Every structure is written in C-alpha cells, then in structure tokens.
C-alpha cells in the first residue's frame, strides 16, 4: 500500500455540490408536501444532505488502509453513559469493539456563531458520554474510541 493518499479535490467539489443540491431538493419536496418548516430547516430534515461527503470520507478511510467491512455506515447506535444510546453517522469497529466514531454536521446561514456554539456543546457532551461509557464498561473497548466531527461550514459574509 502506498504511504500517500490520492488527491481528493475533485471528489470534494462534487460532494459539496451534492450537499447543496440535496438541500435544495429536500426543501422543494417539503414545500410540495405542504410541510411548514422555519428558516432553513426544510433543507435538512430529509437527512440526506451530507451523504456524499460521508461516502467520500469512507473512501478516504479505505484508501488509508481501513478495511471496508470495518466501516459501519448509516446511523449506527452506540451506547452511552448519560443516555441509552446515540445514532452516529460513521462507526469503525473491530469485531464488536468501537474503534472510531464520526458525526457529520453543517453550519449555514446568517448566524453561524450561534449554531457553532451549539455544535461545540454537542461535540463536547457526546465525547464525555462516550468516554464515560468506556470507563464504566458499557462500551467494550480497552481504549477510548477516536471521536471526530466532520463540519461543513458555509463560506459567506456572516
């Protein structure tokens, strides 16, 4: 296996374009169905807007040497300490042991600071929940899983 990964610039461009297209089509679908959402909520309630970026990260992990069968993609629940469980976007396992957990989020709009605060609180709280679950033996792992947040942030004047 090569020690360098390929250049993913083109795939990133395509994945980010897919993100915006999915947001637009989800909003259109909500309007067509008569669903009323405030703000930009209609664009994300379908839950598919980050799928292309998630699949790209899976490709990068496989290219980096993680066998594809170890990647459990699509909202896999992992037990926590403070709550029964949480469904994560991407989980890497060895057998039944959790090696890594990645959550995908986006921040868009005119008030990114407020959303960023919420995302930071969420990330810190979820990390504490997972690490305490490992410490207490709820998650069977000799080490704390690696935790990651993939954050797509809109480039705008705000």
| Parent domain of 96 | 66-158
End of a domain among 30, 64, 98?
Answer: 64
Distance CA 26, CA 20 (A): 10
**What would the pLDDT profile of 92-123 be if each residue is shown by its tens digit?**
888 778 888 999 988 887 777 777 888 888 99
pTM: predicted TM-score of the whole model, two decimal places: 0.76
pLDDT attached to residue 158 = 72
**Residue 10 exposure: Cα atoms within 13 Å on the Cβ side:** 2
End of a domain among 64, 84, 101?
Answer: 64
pLDDT attached to residue 48 = 77
Tally the domains of the chain: 2
End of a domain among 20, 39, 64?
Answer: 64
Distance CA 136, CA 148 (A): 21
Same domain, 79 and 11: no
Same domain, 21 and 78: no
Same domain, 133 and 84: yes
DSSP string, 33-85: HT---STTGGGTTTS-TTHHHHHHHHHHHHHTT--GGGEEEEEEEEE-SSSSE
């Amino acid at each position: 296996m090569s020690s360098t990964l390929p250049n993913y610039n083109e795939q990133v461009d395509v994945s980010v374009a897919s993100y915006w297209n999915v947001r637009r089509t989800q909003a259109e679908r909500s309007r067509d169905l008569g669903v009323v959402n405030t703000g930009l909520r209609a664009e994300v309630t379908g839950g598919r807007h980050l799928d292309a970026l998630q699949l790209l990260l899976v490709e990068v992990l496989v290219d980096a040497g993680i066998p594809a069968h170890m990647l459990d993609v699509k909202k896999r629940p992992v037990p926590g300490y403070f709550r029964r469980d949480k469904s994560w976007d991407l989980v890497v396992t060895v057998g039944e042991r959790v090696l890594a957990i990645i959550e995908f989020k986006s921040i868009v709009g005119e008030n990114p600071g407020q959303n960023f605060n919420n995302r930071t609180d969420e990330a810190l709280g979820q990390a504490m929940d997972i690490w305490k679950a490992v410490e207490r033996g709820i998650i069977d792992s000799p080490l704390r899983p690696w935790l990651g947040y993939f954050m797509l942030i809109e480039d705008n004047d705000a």
